[in-house]
Chain A
């Protein structure tokens, strides 16, 4: 049937068309996800309850959703700022792990005066995260080494380092499990008292606002768009191409590192082998669906936080596996991406 069909790029897809495509994609994605979950044993009637009511409409659920969303916002932003200059940061988990390791070192070692302990963890985590992406960045700028491979592999190295520490010097002396001892109070974000939510939300809010301003209201966003869309023209026009790429990519690493600190100082209060898992995939999902725009990153991360919250409930009550939750994310992502594709291209068949 598609023996002779062509994809024709639409000239200027209107707001209505892209909106409709986006909504259509979301609907299909949710429908397929619902079908999958029902097949896996979740009663259809419980879906709305778990995914909407228990995530946004109850006080407990909402605080859960917000708490889960905090690191998602940070990794989503990390992916988004690099994406703006067409740098595919596939090493987000690696930078996140190293940020967490740096913060753990400060927390366990009691480095610095107590009032400055948490700020020091945050700063050091960000710096180390940025340092971990500096190598792939340098390799790319200097030799054209593909960053997809280099960041991904450095991610694995970071995880091995974490394991090395957890099975070695940082093993919990009390239980002998490969997790660190619990952090002292000074190394934690204070609890707000509303569910699990901690004051890290102020930090995440401030970071999002700052990035939103940076990318929308200063030249940085302007340079980034020119560099991202047409690097040759940006060069010829005399824009600071190298500085723009370097700045935003390092920022991406720093945000990932910060996400690592936020997780262990906010909710886990210790470093373990599971705190950073799955964030790479979520980061890409969030940044893609948000089209690399900070404000939309916030929105999408909240939605994804809800999926995680609901997922946790489903895991407990209906013994749904972790993989199902990833599958739901993936299904929604793929269907929206397909919808985006058809808002950009029209299918035409010659008569």
Chain B
């Protein structure tokens, strides 16, 4: 790996001899003992647009949040414009001339643009009234060439407009170093182009810009240098974009030591779940589904890899029955479930582990016993119409707590009090029951520690060995590769490609992830 660690050349530096705009060296950062950054480094020159790429969870956002004072690093050195500076808050970073636009915008919906910006200006600013703010915003917007209307209410703005408000805000606060965290993920192609050209202009005027992205064509078209991160480490530090090709980026992003091994199906079973032509119009902020097809066999895990926001949530919602596709069909074991209710889908053997456990999986306020019984009561498993057998629910919960080794749990305890791993075990205990034929698992080990991750993966393996079929949708490539028999890649709402695990190569996956077929 070391030999691929390029050092930055002189290219992309408009002002030779000046100190770097931002320099991060040997940054470590752990969350609850779980390392997110390990000896990561990054160096940004004035006048350049610098891309950071890497899989989901590689640590890109965390590294930039350290630079922007959102997180304090556990170790390492930081300089801004040559001066040693470790901002302890976003305000300190702003004061040092560094501003970040986050993946999730931080605007008050019911306020106007002026009011929002006024809110972040703080006490020392000379701008104190909405009118002054509006004038300043208009002036700044005109100066940098970003259309922003200070008088409008944020709730009425499109995603692209909100993003522009965030950028103007950061610039108005005096930022000369601008960090954009996956800005194009929420934009249409046209809007993305506009933004990227703007960013180029800004850099040419002497600002320094960091652009986190997943798309190689944005790197190739608009950036000067590229830094690649994987598993919290910098695997390529600031290589000139002209010197690197897409295949290499893909390989570095994904890692060559992909634990891809032949995983032959013991006995390729019948088709259990078949989805064809699934299409859904995109809603205001989401990604739609686009004639999506796949077939899932008994006894196999079909892994769906892909960068988040490419329609994964929508696919799971359609499969669960929480939203209705515009076109296409879903069949389970020969039965047409395209228009079936969630109840009928469950009855047919469909089980879901959603990515957000407490949004569509568990009810925080209910007890563990109640959560475990949630899908059973309607089937009459805990008493008939006139009596609810709570004692039976408690007994069943006690048994599940034992057999799934759910720690810190008693039947009466509220689910909200469980740690992530144990909450996930509650969900597994409920979903992996005898009636399961197809398991749809969306990022089942997201946010879990090593031990819980192993537990979850083993549970899925066992379920599949028992004859069930599993659709594993995950943004964590490792997870997909360690469990799947076949791997598909999802991009812009459809399946971009599908291969048996033995034929998966880093180049193939990297290219599909980046949206190049």
Residues of A whose CB lies within 8 Å of any CB of B are: 11-12, 217-219, 221-223, 225-226, 229-230, 232-240
In angstroms, Cα B370 to Cα A233, docked, is 13
Query: Are A230 and B364 also in contact (CB < 8 A) when A218-B385, A218-B388 are?
Result: yes
- CB<8 Å pairs between A and B, sample of 6: A218-B386, A219-B388, A226-B374, A229-B366, A232-B359, A235-B321
Interface pair B378/A217, CB less than 8 Å apart:
no
Interface pair B342/A217, CB less than 8 Å apart:
no
What's the dominant secondary structure at chain A's contact region?
helix
Query: Are A239 and B378 also in contact (CB < 8 A) when A225-B365, A229-B364 are?
Result: yes
Interface pair A237/B417, CB less than 8 Å apart:
no
Interface pair A236/B365, CB less than 8 Å apart:
no
Interface pair A232/B360, CB less than 8 Å apart:
yes
In the complex, residue of chain A having the shortest beta-carbon distance to the beta carbon of B379:
A238
Interface residues of B in 320-361 (CB under 8 A from A): 320-322, 341-347, 352, 354, 358-361
Taking a contact as CB atoms closer than 8 A, the residue among A11, A12, A217, A235 that contacts B322 in the complex is: A235
Cβ of B387 < 8 Å from any Cβ of A?
A: yes
Cβ of B363 < 8 Å from any Cβ of A?
A: yes
Interface pair A233/B360, CB less than 8 Å apart:
yes
Query: Are A232 and B370 also in contact (CB < 8 A) when A219-B388, A238-B346 are?
Result: no
Residues of B whose CB lies within 8 Å of any CB of A are: 320-322, 341-347, 352, 354, 358-366, 370, 373-375, 377-378, 383, 385-388, 413-414, 417
Residues of A contacting B385 in the complex (Cβ-Cβ under 8 angstroms): 218-219
Residues of A contacting B388 in the complex (Cβ-Cβ under 8 angstroms): 217-219, 221-222
Interface pair A233/B374, CB less than 8 Å apart:
yes
User: Shortest Cβ distance from B340 into chain A, in angstroms?
Assistant: 10
In angstroms, Cα B414 to Cα A225, docked, is 13
Besides A233-B358, A233-B374, A238-B344, 17 other A-B contacts (C-beta < 8 A): A12-B414, A218-B388, A219-B383, A219-B385, A219-B388, A222-B373, A223-B377, A225-B363, A226-B370, A229-B363, A229-B365, A230-B358, A230-B364, A237-B342, A237-B346, A238-B378, A240-B343
Taking a contact as CB atoms closer than 8 A, the residue among B354, B362, B374 that contacts A239 in the complex is: B374
In the complex, residue of chain B having the shortest beta-carbon distance to the beta carbon of A225:
B366
In the complex, residue of chain A having the shortest beta-carbon distance to the beta carbon of B367:
A225
In the complex, residue of chain B having the shortest beta-carbon distance to the beta carbon of A241:
B342
Interface pair B370/A225, CB less than 8 Å apart:
yes
Interface pair B352/A236, CB less than 8 Å apart:
yes
Residues of B contacting A239 in the complex (Cβ-Cβ under 8 angstroms): 343, 374, 377-378
Query: Are A232 and B374 also in contact (CB < 8 A) when A218-B386, A226-B366, A238-B343 are?
Result: no
5 closest residue pairs by CB, A with B: A238-B343, A229-B365, A230-B363, A236-B360, A237-B374
Taking a contact as CB atoms closer than 8 A, the residue among A11, A219, A233 that contacts B363 in the complex is: A233
Residues of A contacting B378 in the complex (Cβ-Cβ under 8 angstroms): 219, 223, 238-240
